[in-house]
Amino acid sequence: MIPMEYYLVVSTIMMFVGVYGFLTRRNLLAMLISVELILNSVDINFVVFNRFLFPGQLEGFFFSLFAIGISAAETAVAIAIIINIYRNIRNIQVKNLDKMKW
């Protein structure tokens, strides 16, 4: 069986790729995708910990199921808002979201 560390390396890379993407991407949809990477890395973590460290439980599995469902709801709302922005200014680049500053 593949050892647990391998999974954790994958999830950690996903997490920090997501953080990097969130901070550097200049397109709202790309930022949203980066955030999804973070949330998915969390799901991997929960499942891996549950499977390898506490095989008798189901807590981690359930947590990741709920996390998937809730992140889908959040994404739906986020995309709705992004579409609304597109309708208003025909653009979803972050540099155009500067109506309010300091």
> Do residues 67 and 39 lie in contact, with contact meaning Cβ atoms separated by under 8 Å?
yes
State the minimum distance, in angstroms, from the CB of residue 66 to another protein: 6
Beta-carbon contacts of 68 under 8 Å, excluding residues fewer than 6 positions away, are 43
List residues binding another protein (CB under 8 A): 15, 18, 22, 28, 31-32, 35, 38-39, 41-42, 45-46, 49-50, 53-54, 57, 59-60, 62-63, 66-67, 70-71, 73-75, 77-78, 80-82, 84-85, 88-89, 97, 99-100, 102
Burial status of residue 84 (CB atoms within 10 A of its CB: 0-12, 13-18, 19 or more): exposed
Q: Which is nearer to another protein, 1 or 88 (CB)?
A: 88
